[in-house]
Amino acid sequence: MHCPPYCHNKEIHDECGVFGVHNHPEASTLTHLGLYALQHRGQETAGIVSSDGSSKFNVHRQSGLVADIFRQKVLKKLKGHVAIGHVRYSTTGSSVSCNAQPIVAGYWDGEIAVAHNGNITNAQKLRQDLERDGAIFNTTMDTELLIHLIARMRNCGFAEAFVESMRKFQGAFSMLGVKGDTLIIARDPRGFRPLVLGRKDDAWIVASETCAFDIIDAKYERDVEPGEVIVINNEGMTSFFPFVHMQPKLCVFEYVYVARPDSIINNQSVYRKRYKSGRALAQESPVEADLVVPIPDSSNVAALGYSHESGIPYQLGLIRSHYVGRTFIEPDQKIRDFGVKIKHNAVAPMLRDKRVILIDDSIVRGTTSRKIVKMVREQGGAKEVHVRVASPPWKHPCFFGIDTPNQEELIGSRMNVEETA
Amino acid sequence: MHCPPYCHNKEIHDECGVFGVHNHPEASTLTHLGLYALQHRGQETAGIVSSDGSSKFNVHRQSGLVADIFRQKVLKKLKGHVAIGHVRYSTTGSSVSCNAQPIVAGYWDGEIAVAHNGNITNAQKLRQDLERDGAIFNTTMDTELLIHLIARMRNCGFAEAFVESMRKFQGAFSMLGVKGDTLIIARDPRGFRPLVLGRKDDAWIVASETCAFDIIDAKYERDVEPGEVIVINNEGMTSFFPFVHMQPKLCVFEYVYVARPDSIINNQSVYRKRYKSGRALAQESPVEADLVVPIPDSSNVAALGYSHESGIPYQLGLIRSHYVGRTFIEPDQKIRDFGVKIKHNAVAPMLRDKRVILIDDSIVRGTTSRKIVKMVREQGGAKEVHVRVASPPWKHPCFFGIDTPNQEELIGSRMNVEETA
Amino acid sequence: MHCPPYCHNKEIHDECGVFGVHNHPEASTLTHLGLYALQHRGQETAGIVSSDGSSKFNVHRQSGLVADIFRQKVLKKLKGHVAIGHVRYSTTGSSVSCNAQPIVAGYWDGEIAVAHNGNITNAQKLRQDLERDGAIFNTTMDTELLIHLIARMRNCGFAEAFVESMRKFQGAFSMLGVKGDTLIIARDPRGFRPLVLGRKDDAWIVASETCAFDIIDAKYERDVEPGEVIVINNEGMTSFFPFVHMQPKLCVFEYVYVARPDSIINNQSVYRKRYKSGRALAQESPVEADLVVPIPDSSNVAALGYSHESGIPYQLGLIRSHYVGRTFIEPDQKIRDFGVKIKHNAVAPMLRDKRVILIDDSIVRGTTSRKIVKMVREQGGAKEVHVRVASPPWKHPCFFGIDTPNQEELIGSRMNVEETA
Amino acid sequence: MHCPPYCHNKEIHDECGVFGVHNHPEASTLTHLGLYALQHRGQETAGIVSSDGSSKFNVHRQSGLVADIFRQKVLKKLKGHVAIGHVRYSTTGSSVSCNAQPIVAGYWDGEIAVAHNGNITNAQKLRQDLERDGAIFNTTMDTELLIHLIARMRNCGFAEAFVESMRKFQGAFSMLGVKGDTLIIARDPRGFRPLVLGRKDDAWIVASETCAFDIIDAKYERDVEPGEVIVINNEGMTSFFPFVHMQPKLCVFEYVYVARPDSIINNQSVYRKRYKSGRALAQESPVEADLVVPIPDSSNVAALGYSHESGIPYQLGLIRSHYVGRTFIEPDQKIRDFGVKIKHNAVAPMLRDKRVILIDDSIVRGTTSRKIVKMVREQGGAKEVHVRVASPPWKHPCFFGIDTPNQEELIGSRMNVEETA
């Protein structure tokens, strides 16, 4: 399988959240709550664009957390019965707020707004082509490409232009677009990123995960299918499959640590997936020990599965702080494992002289794991520390998506880190 | 046992955190990190006062989170080898930043700074006496009383005046005071609020909980004893017990939900206490069921104890959001259990048609429990919901502190809420 | 005449503005507008305390400009029919917002609020006495003394205690106090700082200058007399003169540069005073020249008087920027007279080869004058520059107040700086 | 002469300031100071883009005042020896910060930055053409057009593309562009908006007005000529005149109220122009009166000319506040002429019973004038008020630029508002 080079780049690796409402008098308030429930998918910027069907959008985008940004005063201005929203995760830092979504732009047919979760793998090529054709770019976001492509389709309506443009994209996209009071929803043919469809009263709701439906009492209808485009306007809802068919491959990391465990994506419970992967891991990589301890919070459920399957007791031997800020000043008299301690602390009375199986969600962050192992051993006093990883190792340069039918077998670590005091 | 009326008042019920350093060149940076680790004890305001032994303090107090407040620029100004800090929890809202601690004031002998965790039960009487004697008050904090009392002792030094003043106090106090480079530490005779003593290099460290030692690699020495006063200055450290001896009664809620599970207070592991209380609860109040589910995060450990004792599997059937902000606008079309949903969501695939034992830490917040039960049943689809509470019921008007020797037996719920679908 | 040493200290030299309203339903809105008109008296902090007669005040104090601080949201909370406000000037910088006024404090008889413009010359002595008596201080403001003194009068009502306390003060005070819905106004026996009384509808208004009456359509009634105390409550208004009689001495700098030219203080037009001082200066210190040029804005009117008296044409040869901020980064390649240029620029086409009489308001800032003279000569190209100062020289260590009857003669410069190209 | 309709629209009527530096190690610090001196041309947003010749710009744009925005921390990041800056005036309010300049965009040949003072009269036509060709727009600024046009010139270098694009523009433009370390300067053929060229050490400086040269000790070289394009790069400076020659017509309002009086634009002193227009006005429209009073600050100089020519004494009968903020809450009990009073107040003691000639700079704001006249009569007590306007009346739908040769005769009011008590 061909694996695009950007896949290793955490900076581009995009775990955003999107949310959309069509036909609800309080569209932006619902979007606010939906984005709040999707906050785990992006803590850097948040934005809402609302529309009352006229040519002019209401826009608010800002860096910060959803609960801080959308106070009553802001929401009051976001009038309209159609709205889309976006939360953005990024490790870049520099170009923070200028890259906030949804993007809004004007073209020959009016204004459009677009919110995107994913990565366009042929973005550079498309951008070069567009620049060669005279296009100018104001951001480094792939999303801007879509608007350029739409603006260049001069003989067709919004929905057609949207679809025709998206057909040029390769890679991952869960994309929402608004023009007037038309809402378009598109998911790439492989379905790399999740996208679910729901209803609240007479309104259609779309979101990255179902946890955003729960908070607003919306009913989960179904997943937006891989390769599906849905157009919702005042005449109703139309669905079609304009892209070349491909084998679906939801990004495995959605189940491993991106999505919230209380979400259902691709018709499967994230919690149950994680739990089962923990059980599978216990079968594949058993080890004699006294305790199973998760690295909180993303490994909590898998560790529970490991414990139940192996019969080895589960203990919350690491405590996580939820008040982590941007920077911490370390004293000149260096603190051991400073970076790790900011987020986690060992519960020594439970770990002392014990043989501990530490469950990690993935080995993306190898140095962090190593420091935590050290903390569990030295500060916690564990006699032995065994690490088990609840997701497949990086054998291939990229494992962006995996075949769902075979997923169960793959889940489980073939890598086996043993560390003994 | 006499129980003061303020005990029912969550508004006054004060769960602050204090931290102090004596004789470290980076006293304020250590205090910053210590307060960050104590953030769970108060999220409303944070403050640090540092001293280089001269008459003038460096002060920074602000509303907000520790990680946001003490950026490099602020810490640079907090010079000195002695520092005390404070995080404040409060449900009052209005008088937010004006009541931030540590308090600083000038009197005939110079400037003093004081940080306090606790409640002075005879505060109103003391205040009236002082006002009758011409004192003026700038805050509604009990802590201000101490400074007034000290200022009125005109024939003795700082340490004596501090102790003599504290002898007038009834109730709970874990108190830190600084004058010049003298640090005074005092804990009330019953030891209602925790206070621990540690060392880092040549410095003395004092904190509400040991988790604040772990983050800075300080070594836990011992608890500040109930009724103990410690004076640390350049000549060294002196300890004495100036108060009338009383039976120690650490506030049970420290173990139940206030303290972090990775802390050791009163020489006992908070985690182990919670775990044992869960086991005891399973013995006392067994019930046939399919799952044990904690209300996260404060009940996580007790629920684990219940599960291990009863043999009923533990599942994280409720997911908690860690991005809760000040206010959320509910849409006009009301959402069921809106308030609860902002913080918790049910994992329906794991709860459906199951008999669930829900473990709560305490029944202080009865209405919340009721809404969560409803959510687990209606949204989660549980067949039966049994609530078990991992702390003793409110038989007495106040149960502020309990006898440690007998605590084990008491822990365990005598109240038994059964709800069946 | 005795001249206290602090008088040379610009840091203590206090040019604040005060404003008060009694019995108006929109007391805080009027106070907001009044403070805005008094903004020239203090740009560092602003504050309003309002009262509806109950025991609890509404308070908002902040560093910044009046127009930025008191937005609708803030004013809405400042309910009540009585209000006092304060704008504070200070060159100290450090203790900025903690020293904002009005001060509010609680004592045996309830809460009081105080706003003050002036300097208590025996403050240090009073403070020491109070500290010796056990008082604690939270600010470095003289104003805090008053509250301590009041709190110590335990056998009399608010008004009596206020007056008795003020009798202990030496120096300059234009003081407003509120308790419940009683407003007290006091001016020191010499009347160092201005204070005027007005009416709007059924309300009494008090302000540092009449320009604060104009903006709210209040009618100027009369000056608060030197040594007068006025008590306004629901029964009406009472005036009395409790202090030892002294020769009135309004601070000459009020007329020279502190007050706004459109104000009337001590029954005299500030504009007319400045204009006359310019005329007198022309008679006393004539010089042959081509142009009279003011250093804007404080010398504009005096220069006009000089021009009219001398017959030498007036030109605005120096332009002043009104966008001055806190700090400016000077390039490494130093700019000539950088500091002066930030505020003033010469109009070379009008100055070139001319003999210029530069009118300055005072010579408090000698180095500034020197730099401006240099700029007028070098950059402006003036042939000759003669400086005339429209206020008396500092012959005495302090010239805090001068006898009003003799002021006319005194105004006019005895110092004569001649600089020739 | 054809007059475009937008000319009446104050909202579009653009009085911005631009500043540029080529080849100075502290380019952004100089730009900061230059923009500060040009602050009167725009108080809404300010921005600086700096370049060290590489492909990536350093950018900072923000709403607010120059002195508040460009603190040391911000300037440190704006590295490079080339910089351009912009201050923006706008009455629109809504689209505030998103329309800040300089604009930066990427295209096939790299990144470019553009800052613009002026109005492109064929902007709508150009925009429609570009949109028809697939262009998308992110702002409502004319400036964005230029970047689109440049991006579409695929066979030529930056300077050529810049010039070719500008040849499509009609209307007013004083435009700065940067790519790498090339700085391009262009002024429209009529020279509607001012643009001056200077030197500081080895650096070239360009600015809207010479007052920006004075503050940084730069030497005024000459005006950028109407129709001139200047390209400055490491090889040196080239000038050429690529546009169709037209009769120069500097916008009369630059002399009337936009520019600072200490500036020289089009080789003429703004101060001298205003002064002469006042003298001409006195000759053309004499009236018997006691006082000449300017409406400060923009009429100060013209009023002085009127006074000197007529022999009627000049008095500063209106005082202006320089602390005006965004909004003021008017009490329910309405204040007479509230809006006017926020900015101006009458000096009654000088106006009472006098016959006053009020000098206004223009009658653009008719209602303001009327309210000021009312204030001078009613509050100030003037016996008669005569208004004289120091700029030509609006006979034509637009008087955007006038022939300089004939300007002298035109200046002077043909309209004559007489109001008598």
Phi-psi region for residue D216, left (φ > 0), alpha (ψ -120 to 50) or beta? alpha
Chain C residues close to D205, C-beta within 8 Å: none
Residues D241-285 have pLDDT tens digits of 999 999 998 888 899 989 999 999 999 999 999 999 999 999 999
Poorest-pLDDT segment among A106-115, C328-337, D258-267 = C328-337
C391 pLDDT above the threshold of 60: yes
DSSP structure class, residue D205: E
Residues A332-354 have pLDDT tens digits of 888 888 989 999 999 999 999 99
Structure tokens at B263: 């802390």
pLDDT for D149: 96
pTM, entire model: 0.86
Strand partners, B50: B58, B83
Of A104, A133, A137, the CB nearest to D105: A137
In this predicted model, which residue has the larger pLDDT, C411 or D119? D119
CB contact under 8 A, A136 and D128: no
Is the link from the previous residue into B102 a cis peptide, with omega within 30 of 0?
A: yes
- Residue of D33, D60, D75, D87 for testing the chain C interface, max C β-carbons within 10 Å: D33
Give the Å distances, CA to CA, from D148 to A114, A126, A344, D162, D347: 21, 18, 51, 10, 54
Structure tokens at A369: 């794991």
Chain B residues close to C131, C-beta within 8 Å: 106-108, 151
- From B340, which residue of chain A is nearest by alpha-carbon distance? A215
- From C152, which residue of chain B is nearest by alpha-carbon distance? B134
Residue recorded with tokens 């993935």: A362
pLDDT for C398: 39
CB contact under 8 A, C67 and D323: yes
Chain D residues close to C262, C-beta within 8 Å: 319, 345-348
Reduced to 3 states (helix: H, G, I; strand: E, B; else coil), residue A293 is: strand
Of C29, C300, C333, the CB nearest to D329: C29
Give A148→chain D minimum CA distance, Å. 6
pLDDT for A141: 83
> Which residues, numbered 112 to 131 in chain D, qualify as contacts with chain A under a Cβ-Cβ cut-off of 8 Å?
128, 131
Structure tokens at D367: 């209602």
Write down the mean pLDDT value for chain A: 87
Chain B contact for A339 (CB, 8 A cutoff): no
Of D104, D108, D138, the CB nearest to A131: D108
Chain B contact for A202 (CB, 8 A cutoff): no
The average pLDDT across D387-411 equals 49
- Residue of A112, A136, A142, A155 for testing the chain D interface, max D β-carbons within 10 Å: A136
**With contact defined as beta carbons under 8 Å apart, do C183 and C82 qualify?**
yes
Per-position pLDDT tens, chain B of length 421: 222 222 222 334 467 999 999 999 999 999 999 999 999 999 888 999 999 998 789 999 988 899 999 999 899 999 999 999 999 976 443 344 567 899 999 999 999 999 999 989 999 999 999 999 999 988 878 889 999 999 999 888 999 999 999 999 999 999 999 999 999 999 999 999 999 999 999 999 999 999 999 999 999 999 999 999 999 999 999 999 999 999 998 888 899 989 999 999 999 999 999 999 999 999 999 999 999 999 999 999 999 999 999 999 999 999 999 888 767 888 888 888 898 999 999 999 999 999 999 999 887 656 778 899 999 999 999 999 999 998 765 444 333 433 333 333 333 333 444 554 4
Chain C residues close to B58, C-beta within 8 Å: none
Sign for the CA dihedral angle at C398, C401, C406, C410 comes to: positive
The helix (run of H) or strand (run of E) holding residue B132 is helix B123-132
**With contact defined as beta carbons under 8 Å apart, do C119 and C73 qualify?**
no
**With contact defined as beta carbons under 8 Å apart, do B295 and B347 qualify?**
no
The average pLDDT across A223-245 equals 96
Q: Cα(B193)–Cα(C137) distance, rounded to whole angstroms? A: 29
CB contact under 8 A, B107 and C138: no
pLDDT for B392: 64
Chain C contact for D403 (CB, 8 A cutoff): no
Give the Å distances, CA to CA, from A86 to A41, A83, A175: 10, 10, 10
Give D113→chain A minimum CA distance, Å. 11
Give the Å distances, CA to CA, from B357 to A307, B292, B346, B388: 19, 5, 14, 7
In this predicted model, which residue has the larger pLDDT, C211 or C391? C211
Poorest-pLDDT segment among A321-330, A386-395, B262-271, D399-408 = D399-408
> Which residues, numbered 302 to 321 in chain B, qualify as contacts with chain A under a Cβ-Cβ cut-off of 8 Å?
304, 308, 313-316, 319, 321
**With contact defined as beta carbons under 8 Å apart, do D246 and D155 qualify?**
no
CB contact under 8 A, A329 and B260: no
Residue recorded with tokens 């772990």: B214
Residues A63-103 have pLDDT tens digits of 889 999 999 989 999 999 999 999 997 644 334 456 789 99
Chain B contact for A244 (CB, 8 A cutoff): no
pLDDT for B365: 56
Give the Å distances, CA to CA, from D398 to C272, D6, D8, D300, D360: 43, 9, 7, 25, 20
Of C107, C128, C131, the CB nearest to B136: C107
Residues A161-181 have pLDDT tens digits of 999 999 999 999 999 999 999
What are the backbone dihedrals phi and psi of residue B89, each rounded to the nearest 5 degrees, phi first? -105, 140
pLDDT for A100: 85
A406 pLDDT above the threshold of 70: no
Chain D contact for C212 (CB, 8 A cutoff): no
Q: Cα(A405)–Cα(A403) distance, rounded to whole angstroms? A: 6
> Which residues, numbered 357 to 386 in chain C, qualify as contacts with chain D under a Cβ-Cβ cut-off of 8 Å?
379
Establish, for the pair of chains B and C, how many residue pairs have beta carbons separated by less than 8 Å.
62
Reduced to 3 states (helix: H, G, I; strand: E, B; else coil), residue A387 is: strand
pLDDT for A94: 38
pLDDT for D3: 23
- A242 burial type by CB count under 10 A (0-12 exposed, 13-18 middle, 19+ buried): middle
| Residue A287 neighbours by CB under 8 Å, 6+ apart | A357, A386, A388, A418
**Identity of the amino acid at A144:** E
Of D43, D335, D346, the CB nearest to C262: D346
Residues D312-361 have pLDDT tens digits of 999 999 999 989 876 788 888 888 889 899 999 999 999 999 999 999 98
The average pLDDT across C139-162 equals 91
Give the Å distances, CA to CA, from A343 to A339, B18, B46, B295: 7, 20, 19, 22
Chain D contact for A74 (CB, 8 A cutoff): no
The average pLDDT across C376-399 equals 77
Write down the mean pLDDT value for chain D: 86
Q: Cα(D97)–Cα(D44) distance, rounded to whole angstroms? A: 8
Chain D contact for C174 (CB, 8 A cutoff): no
pLDDT for A10: 33
**With contact defined as beta carbons under 8 Å apart, do C219 and C213 qualify?**
yes
Q: Which long-range contacts (CB under 8 A, 24 or more apart) does C308-315 make?
A: C308/C278, C308/C279, C308/D313, C309/C278, C309/C279, C309/C282, C309/C283, C310/C282, C310/C286, C310/C357, C312/C357, C313/D308, C314/D304, C314/D314, C315/C291, C315/C347, C315/C350, C315/D304
| Residue D205 neighbours by CB under 8 Å, 6+ apart | D19, D20, D21, D30, D34, D197, D198, D199, D212, D213, D216, D218
Give D342→chain C minimum CA distance, Å. 7
Phi-psi region for residue C161, left (φ > 0), alpha (ψ -120 to 50) or beta? alpha
Chain B residues close to C104, C-beta within 8 Å: 138
pLDDT for D366: 63
DSSP structure class, residue A257: I
Chain C residues close to B133, C-beta within 8 Å: 134
pLDDT for D364: 62
pLDDT for C352: 97
Q: State what percent of residues in chain D have pLDDT above 70.
A: 86
Chain A contact for D13 (CB, 8 A cutoff): no
| Residue A131 neighbours by CB under 8 Å, 6+ apart | A137, D106, D107, D108, D151
- From B214, which residue of chain A is nearest by alpha-carbon distance? A345
Chains with 3+ CB–CB pairs under 8 A to C are: B, D
Chain D residues close to A132, C-beta within 8 Å: 108, 154
Chain C contact for D108 (CB, 8 A cutoff): no
